[in-house]
């Protein structure tokens, strides 16, 4: 039985985002609610965790506790940021006091957010997390799945005015063009290098366009890695073992509880955070990682490092500091289903006869 969800994607403008046309996401799965009997993810010794995030702060929001748990059990953690978060128009306008900030203002904001992310990761791990930036356009990732998939048709950021990453000293590849095929290829290479046993990624059903697109790109790249379709990496004697795929949710209607509550306090941290009841179930199913008091405290401290975001959405960030971190565990069915988002090749008109 298939679950079809018309995702109301939100244009990237922060908390007060505008609604974009819905898109259909179909994953083969039984009908069920996401909050029904969530089990606890098992984190073993020496795990290799890869966290993929659309923007600086999403890795802490969705997996700050999981990161700590893996490190506690002698594992390794790599965090990959798809964008520098340089497309948050509301925040940049607020900081610059300019109704129309310049591209340099948005790049400076992206550099600030990267600095915040590095500080947050140091707070979680004391220097043991590897943080990488791909530098693709904030607010434009979904467009790379649709209008700018093919090489030779790069997108241009509406905020930085760049068509490749403007952070030469910080990104994996400063010359990579803003197109979907190249993003998929680069992400697959990063995954192949990391050889993760666990991948935490945005839920493809997330209603924010960048989160949705990051989830889809991540599943595509995982599939490429498992099928040996990665460039620049040595060929393996055998296929890699599939990692556990844990999808975290950030944007959903009327969720998380308390996300708009101005009176939220640390007392609320004792409460569990469950996935929304109307989030479709996908096999293997929902998971809930129960955090210790120490892990909650470290996650709260890491969240506080994101001063640029605390200035505009403190309640939303605080709503994710809870006793539990919820995930949807995805399987190979979702990896295969992600290929439906690859645009069909555009036919090239035949040349006229001489």
Per residue in 143-156, pLDDT (tens digit) is 999 999 999 989 99
Neighbours of 204 (CB within 10 A): 26
pLDDT at 9 over 60: no
What confidence score (pLDDT) does residue 31 get?
46
pLDDT at 5 over 50: no
Structure tokens at 316: 């939303």
φ/ψ bin of 188: left (φ > 0), alpha (ψ from -120 to 50), beta (otherwise):
alpha
Least trusted range by pLDDT, from 219-223, 237-241, 267-271: 237-241
For the four alpha carbons of 55, 58, 64 and 67, in that order, the dihedral sign comes to negative
Cα distance between residue 36 and residue 306, in whole Å: 33
The rounded percent of the chain whose pLDDT value lies above 70 is: 83
What confidence score (pLDDT) does residue 26 get?
44
What confidence score (pLDDT) does residue 23 get?
45
Q: pLDDT digit string (tens) for 312-329?
A: 999 999 999 999 999 999
**pTM of the predicted model, to two decimals?**
0.88
pLDDT confidence of 234, banded at 50, 70, 90?
A: low
Least trusted range by pLDDT, from 37-46, 62-71, 113-122, 147-156: 37-46
Q: pLDDT digit string (tens) for 47-83?
A: 999 999 999 999 999 999 999 999 999 999 999 999 9
What confidence score (pLDDT) does residue 276 get?
97
Instruction: Compute the residue count for the chain.
Output: 354
What would the mean pLDDT of 104-122 be, rounded to a whole number? 97
Report which of residues 1 and 232 the model is more confident about. 232
pLDDT at 192 over 90: yes
R_g (Cα) of the chain, nearest Å: 20
Is the separation of the CB atoms in 91 and 311 below 8 Å? yes
What would the mean pLDDT of 95-102 be, rounded to a whole number? 94
For the four alpha carbons of 210, 59, 186 and 243, in that order, the dihedral sign comes to negative
45-341: what fold?
Rossmann fold (3.40.50)
pLDDT confidence of 30, banded at 50, 70, 90?
A: very low
pLDDT at 93 over 80: yes
C-alpha 316: how far from chain center: 17
Is the separation of the CB atoms in 149 and 136 below 8 Å? no
What is the residue-averaged pLDDT of the chain?
87
pLDDT at 175 over 60: yes
Residue with tokens 């939220």: 264
What confidence score (pLDDT) does residue 33 get?
44
What confidence score (pLDDT) does residue 232 get?
60
What confidence score (pLDDT) does residue 237 get?
57
**DSSP codes of every residue in 15-77:** BSPPBPPPEEEEEE----BTTSS-BPPP--TT-EEEEEESSTTHHHHHHHHHHHHHHHTT-EE
């Amino acid at each position: 039985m298939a679950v079809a969800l018309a995702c109301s994607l939100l244009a990237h403008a922060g908390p007060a985002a505008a609604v974009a046309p819905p898109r259909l996401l179909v994953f083969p799965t039984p009908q069920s609610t996401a909050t029904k009997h969530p089990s606890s993810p098992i984190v073993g010794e020496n795990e290799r965790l890869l966290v993929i995030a659309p923007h600086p702060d999403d890795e802490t929001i969705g997996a700050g506790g999981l990161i700590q748990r893996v490190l506690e059990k002698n594992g390794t953690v790599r965090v990959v940021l798809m964008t520098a978060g340089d497309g948050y128009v509301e925040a940049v306008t607020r900081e610059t006091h300019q109704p129309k900030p310049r591209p340099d203002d948005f790049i400076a904001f992206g550099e600030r957010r990267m600095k915040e992310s590095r500080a947050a990761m140091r707070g979680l791990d004391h220097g043991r997390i590897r943080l990488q930036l791909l530098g693709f356009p904030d607010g434009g990732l979904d467009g790379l799945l649709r209008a700018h998939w093919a090489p030779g048709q790069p997108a241009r950021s509406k905020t930085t005015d760049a068509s490749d990453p403007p952070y030469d000293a910080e990104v994996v590849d400063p010359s990579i063009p803003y197109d979907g095929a190249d993003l998929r290829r680069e992400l697959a290479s990063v995954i192949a290098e990391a050889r993760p046993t666990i991948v935490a990624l945005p839920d493809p059903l997330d209603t924010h366009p960048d989160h949705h697109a990051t989830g889809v790109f991540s599943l595509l790249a995982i599939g490429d890695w498992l099928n040996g379709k990665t460039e620049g990496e040595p060929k393996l004697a055998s296929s890699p073992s599939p990692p556990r795929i844990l999808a975290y949710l950030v944007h959903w209607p009327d969720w998380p509880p308390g996300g708009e509550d101005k009176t939220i306090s640390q007392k609320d941290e004792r409460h569990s955070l469950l996935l929304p009841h109307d989030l479709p179930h996908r096999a293997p199913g929902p998971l809930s990682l129960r955090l210790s008091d120490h892990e909650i405290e470290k996650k709260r401290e890491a969240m506080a490092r994101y001063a640029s975001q605390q200035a505009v959405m403190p309640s939303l960030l605080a709503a994710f500091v809870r006793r539990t971190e919820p995930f949807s565990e995805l399987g190979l069915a979702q990896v295969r289903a992600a290929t439906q988002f690859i645009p069909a090749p555009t036919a090239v008109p035949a040349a006229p006869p001489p």
